[in-house]
Structure 1
């Protein structure tokens, strides 16, 4: 490998710092910090380092022109990252001493760490499980700063971010047992109700609040149109083996009788507002059985214990 990469003193800088304040500013700030750690010039409780612009260029920043270095130092002063004073006791000695403003540097450090957390949030998205163990690795990486330490607040924010993201991801959600269960009407027998639930389960009908709201509304309309009891309606539903229920199906299967001039004289004299006699549950079941037998061609042989359906 070429020696130009190894045989001179290296100038180091932090890429994330350069991204925040500029490359030249990050380089100069890092070098000022390097020499401050070795300085014996203490003023107002701070270490200071001095040099002329020309000396800085010749000794430290040979890749910069003096004008570039002046602009860079002016930029660092504007951001309040460095302070400069003429501390020489000799009035004719116009040389600047420099020190670092630790409070402003700390603000930049927090800003950089916040940017890392924001980038982590974007990279994780809404499903941390999709990147598996990389979540943990990213957490470890963000918990380390360039000096090997990180603010407690930043660490806690990173932990909360990863925890909240995992909990909110679809794959991390626990299955719920809160399935909708339809409520049996009081007028319907247990046997009919259990038969209906078994029928719907066999046909894989959806048991949901929306589905049963529609079913109950349809049953109510069917009851109003026919005057049948809920037991009669539900029994017919089971007998026809419908997965769902629509009042039109039921009403069409149960046309209401109409008055005619050849009918019973008493029936003709009934008021239009009078209601027909409701058939009993046994009568209803017998009629349903007859209709079922007729529909499927089942012939019933009468005996001593069975009525003859005519």
Structure 2
């Protein structure tokens, strides 16, 4: 039998939970719930786990560190995690996490339909008011877990905002690009699939328009250049002062001439 099917720890995902909070978020939350069972870190009346992002990536090797950061941030914004800092070193900013079951209980109490089951009664090792605790190891694959934890197949990642990205470029660069042309969409989609998001596109546009607008490089203020394979390099580039910025500094900052 194929090793990929049985020789590794399976990651369990409940379709309804993924629908409610997002697929990546459901995966991480379920795993945190599992790890908390075995945690020996007890503070403020609850168990905690912690890890650096590189260590988290070892737990989720199929994701980039960027995706993991975004997923944890989403869980925090949805108020599904307690966040603490119990590090011994004051300079250590590693976050500690515990599942916010009170928020989760409110979420999962809503049935999926008029007579539909709730999430909590299906969640392995659930901690609910009337739910039994199941302590079986996650490596055990049974018909029940297979049937209850098949992914829904519906993508939960946000839709790509082609129009908003191109409109922002047009506004900043004074252009008239169309958001629905194949070339522009392919460039945007390629970067989006690398886990870059709207704020990243806007930042690249801001950096390069500030640098290129009004220069011979202005012709490169186009989707295929800005959103091409050099996108990440542009994103991490330090913004360059524009010609007007330099002129203002020359006029008012005596240290410019030092």
TM-score, length-scaled by structure 2: 0.45
> Computing the radius of gyration over CA atoms, which structure comes out larger, 1 or 2?
1
TM-score, length-scaled by structure 1: 0.38
